[in-house]
A and B are shown apart, each in its own frame.
Chain A
Amino acid sequence: MKIVSCIKPVPDPASRLAINETKTWIKDQDLTFVASEADNYAIEEALRLKEKHGGEVVVISMGGEESARVLRSGLAMGADRAIHLRDPKFKGADEFAAADALATAIAKDGGADLVLAGVQSDDLGTGMTGTMIAEFLGSAHATVVVGVEANPESKSLRVRRELEGGINETIELPMPAVLTIQFGINQPRYASLKGIMAAKKKEMKVWSAADLGLSDEAAGKAGAMYEVKEIFVPERKSKVEIIGGSPEDAAAALVEKLKKEAKVL
Chain B
Amino acid sequence: MIFVIAEHKDNKLKSITSELLVFAQRAGRDFGQPVSAVVLGENTTSLAEELKSKKIDRVVTIDDPQLAEYNPDAYVEALKSLCEKEPPFLVLIGHTTQGMDFAPRLSVALRRPLIAGCVEYEKQGDRLILTRQIFNAKMNMKTAVRGEPPYFATASPGAFPGDEVEAGGSAEIVPFSVSLTAPGRRKLIERVEAPKGKADLSSAPIIVSGGRGLKEKENFSLIFELAEAIGGSVGASRPVVDAEWLPREYQIGSSGQTVSPKLYIAIGISGAIQHLVGMQTSRCIVAINKDVEAPIFKVAHYGIVDDLFKVVPALTRIFKDLRQA
Interface residues of A (CB under 8 A from B): 17, 19, 26, 95-96, 99, 122-129, 131-132, 134-136, 140-144, 158, 161-174, 182-184, 224-234, 236-238, 240-243, 247-248, 250-252, 254-255, 257-258, 262, 264-265
Contact = CB atoms under 8 A, between A and B. Distances in A.
Contacts of B194: 166-168
B134 interface: yes
A134 B102 CA distance: 11
28 contacts: A17-B139, A95-B114, A96-B114, A122-B136, A124-B134, A125-B273, A126-B100, A127-B116, A141-B72, A162-B255, A166-B196, A166-B249, A166-B251, A170-B188, A173-B185, A226-B115, A229-B143, A229-B144, A231-B142, A234-B133, A236-B298, A238-B300, A242-B292, A242-B303, A243-B303, A247-B310, A252-B314, A255-B315
Contacts, number: 236
Chain B interface, >50% SS class: mixed
Contact of B105 (A132, A228, A255): A132
A164 B9 CA distance: 12
Interface string B66-80: 000000110010000
A233 B139 contact: yes
- The main secondary structure of chain A at its interface with chain B is mixed
Interface in B289-325: 292-293, 297-307, 310-311, 314-315, 317-319, 322
B146 A226 contact: yes
Given A163-B97, A228-B141, A237 B188 contact: no
Interface of B: 72-73, 76, 96-98, 100-101, 103-105, 107-109, 112-117, 129-130, 132-136, 138-147, 185-194, 196, 206, 230, 238-239, 241-242, 248-249, 251, 254-258, 262-263, 273, 283-284, 286-287, 292-293, 297-307, 310-311, 314-315, 317-319, 322
A227 B192 contact: no
B100 A143 contact: yes
A143 B108 contact: no
